[in-house]
């Protein structure tokens, strides 16, 4: 599990005084990026070296408690499942010990023409075999 | 079913040349707003007259094909289910006849102190009883 | 002058109950896109046919009165100045007759390698010579 | 001068492969927040204790070089000018030593009814008298 911290800005909130629901998917992306960086598989390199994209094919968020302006959020990210040509990440968004939201994203592995292909072996190895 | 159209701008896209995944939740919000307006239950009035919020407790998106810059998207919105104190909206995002994404949001009904309460009768009536 | 309308959603607002200041630059982009479309010079075609980008080199906004949730905003856009390799657009954001914000953007004309080049003649002609 | 770092995510970029121009105003907000925090005048407290808002009345950005996905940006923020009821912040956005953008925001000081009022003395003192 890899942790990322994010400070909530005004631009993340909406007039209900809480973080706008779409922004959790931005937080998930930050968590995913740092997860890959932690494994030595920076997403920028995944694209540049392995010549693949990992587009999102499904995203889901469960909102439990609102995040607010200036909160220091922790995004916990795990690789929950790895298929031959897909990956599922799971996320928890916390404020200190309090879980504010959970969710997941499922990614396909495609080449630069959009054709599905197996996850590159070097990436699989970095992610833990 | 209520249709809303949205023109994709540069600010909606990311460097993969497609609409960034979080923005579909913005599109869903537009669809939901127009659905309520169409039923004579503008969300602004729901808050002002009925003194309730309808915060999102779950959101889900399935991404089938990418939306691109300058696409004229159609958001089709239905109220799929209405509970005593909750509502589920379902969405389809299309470019002409092609379905690009589907998804849903589930909303609780809470008063201004965040306490769950039944959907106001006038709102239920507007939504079709 | 070309007019575009935009409906403010929750996702555009912040916890002060007004539209977040960065979003006016999104509104300006919508105005600019519709300006070009109106002139038969859709920005998508500018890129595809003329092989140039028009990146923003300066942006400025003056905020006079707040825009709010569910407002139907009008974006008025003009091409204020056209240089050999640059263009300046000016914008007004209104709610009915009330001016909420004004601003401008200045754009360079660059080829796909980022090198400055003259505005393509066909684009200049479309924009009014 | 106070420095803040921001990691660029996919959601910040657009299909030109660079950070979308509106997002620099988000970066400026992060810089401004950390500037105030550094002075012991966290913006959350400015609102809660001093009962004032500091809405933006003008924003300007000069874009020199594009920021890209995964860049670790540094936002340098200074309070350039302090009026009786206004403040001007200036910003530089850097990638290592390279200046990518500069800009400023001007803020009014208003009470919770939107009426202009002098900057609270405690805030002025925190900002350096």
pLDDT digits (tens, 9 = 90+) for C23-69: 999 999 999 999 999 998 888 888 888 889 999 999 999 999 999 99
pLDDT digits (tens, 9 = 90+) for A65-98: 999 999 999 999 999 999 999 999 999 999 999 9
| B chain contacts of residue C31, beta-carbon cutoff 8 Å | none
Between D57 and C121, the higher pLDDT residue? D57
For chain B, give the mean pLDDT.
94
pLDDT of residue A41: 83
Of B11, B30, B70, the CB nearest to C9: B30
Rounded to two decimals, the ipTM of the complex is: 0.95
CA distances to D9, D68, D72 from D94, rounded to whole Å, are 16, 12, 9
Percent of chain B with pLDDT over 70: 99
Of D10, D18, D20, the CB nearest to B11: D20
Mean pLDDT of A38-67: 92
Classify the C-alpha dihedral D13-D10-B28-B83 as positive or negative: negative
Percent of chain A with pLDDT over 90: 81
Q: Cα torsion for B24, D101, C55, B72, to the nearest 10°? A: 10
Is D14 annotated in the active site?
Answer: yes
pLDDT of residue A129: 66
Under a CB-based contact definition with an 8 Å cutoff, are residues A124 and A81 in contact?
Answer: no
| D chain contacts of residue C63, beta-carbon cutoff 8 Å | 55-59
Quickly state the pLDDT bin for C22 (edges 50, 70, 90).
very high
| A chain contacts of residue B16, beta-carbon cutoff 8 Å | 53, 55
Other beta carbons within 10 Å of D63? 23
Mean pLDDT of B101-123: 93
What residue spans define the domains of chain C? 2-126
Residue by residue, what is the 3-state secondary structure of B15-42? CCCCECCCHHHHHHHHHHHHHHHHCCCC
Instruction: Test A58 with B57 for CB contact under 8 angstroms.
Output: no
Under a CB-based contact definition with an 8 Å cutoff, are residues C33 and C46 in contact?
Answer: no
CA distances to B13, B124, C29, D27, D29 from D105, rounded to whole Å, are 26, 45, 20, 12, 9
Supply the pTM of this predicted model. 0.96
A6: tokens are 């994010």
Under a CB-based contact definition with an 8 Å cutoff, are residues B67 and B19 in contact?
Answer: yes
pLDDT of residue C129: 66
**What does residue C64 show for φ and ψ, rounded to 5 degrees?**
-105, -50
| A chain contacts of residue C8, beta-carbon cutoff 8 Å | none
Instruction: Test B15 with D13 for CB contact under 8 angstroms.
Output: yes
- Shortest Cα–Cα distance, D124 to chain C (Å): 22
- Shortest Cα–Cα distance, B55 to chain C (Å): 11
* CA–CA separation, D79 and D103 (whole Å): 12
pLDDT at D122 over 90: no
Quickly state the pLDDT bin for D129 (edges 50, 70, 90).
low
Between D114 and B79, the higher pLDDT residue? B79
Pick from C107, C111, C57: which is nearest to C81 by CA?
A: C107
Q: Select the CATH number that applies to the domain covering D2-126 from these four: 3.10.129.10, 3.40.50.360, 3.40.50.1000, 3.90.1660.10.
A: 3.10.129.10
DSSP type of residue D46:
H
pLDDT at D123 over 80: yes
* CA–CA separation, C15 and A17 (whole Å): 4
Of C15, C17, C18, the CB nearest to A69: C15
Pick from A103, A112, A120: which is nearest to A55 by CA?
A: A112
């Amino acid at each position: 599990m890899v942790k990322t911290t994010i400070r909530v800005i005004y631009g993340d909130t909406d007039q209900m005084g809480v973080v706008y629901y779409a922004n959790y998917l931005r937080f998930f992306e930050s968590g995913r990026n740092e997860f890959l960086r932690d494994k030595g598989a920076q997403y920028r390199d995944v694209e540049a070296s392995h010549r693949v994209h990992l587009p999102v094919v499904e995203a889901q968020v469960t909102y439990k408690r609102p995040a607010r302006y200036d909160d220091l959020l922790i995004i916990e990210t795990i690789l929950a499942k790895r298929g031959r040509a897909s990956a599922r990440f799971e996320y928890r968004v916390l404020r200190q010990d309090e879980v504010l939201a959970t969710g997941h994203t499922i990614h396909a592995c495609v080449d630069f023409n959009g054709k599905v292909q197996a996850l590159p072996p070097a990436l699989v190895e970095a992610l833990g075999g």
